[in-house]
Amino acid sequence: MKLLTRNRLRFSRPGESSPMCGRRDGYNNFFVGWFCLSLESDEVAEIGFRLRRDAWGKGYASEAALALVNWGFETADVAKVIACTMATNSGSRRVMEKIGMKYVRTIPFEAAHFPGTEQGEVWYELTRSEWGRT
């Protein structure tokens, strides 16, 4: 995968801007989305991603998320990587599961009200010891 990086995935500390990368489609050379890894504490990092709708289902999110998880454990030396999404977002949940993350909990979503928010936000995590077994 050809990732376009900003800051060459330099790992930032809490309060600094997150390392981010983008992805261009190899055939059409269009921007498909962004992916980030944010340090939540000295031990925990959170992955995030947003893709254009026409880029869904092509493996971009899984490939980039796994690369960021690997980088978080290998380079940033975090103990755990987390991710969250709306409970109704089956695509993002599938990405999290494909890269080895496990469902942890569902919490109420109170930041906004739109269809699906009543089902809450789901949290997933992957620990260093679990990552070593995947």
Scan for tokens 């999404």, then name that residue: 85
**CA separation for the pair 35, 19 (Å, rounded):** 9
Confidence of residue 26 (pLDDT cuts 50, 70, 90): low
Looking at domain 3-131, its CATH class is alpha beta
**CA separation for the pair 51, 25 (Å, rounded):** 12
Q: Where are the domains of the chain?
A: 3-131
Would the CA dihedral through 107, 49, 125, 37 be positive or negative?
A: negative
Q: pLDDT tens digit string along 72-103?
A: 999 889 999 999 998 999 999 999 999 999 99
**pLDDT of residue 3 exceeding 80:** no
Confidence of residue 25 (pLDDT cuts 50, 70, 90): low
Q: Which of 34, 92, 32, 102 is nearest to 68 (CA)?
A: 34
Helix (H) or strand (E) holding 84: strand 80-86
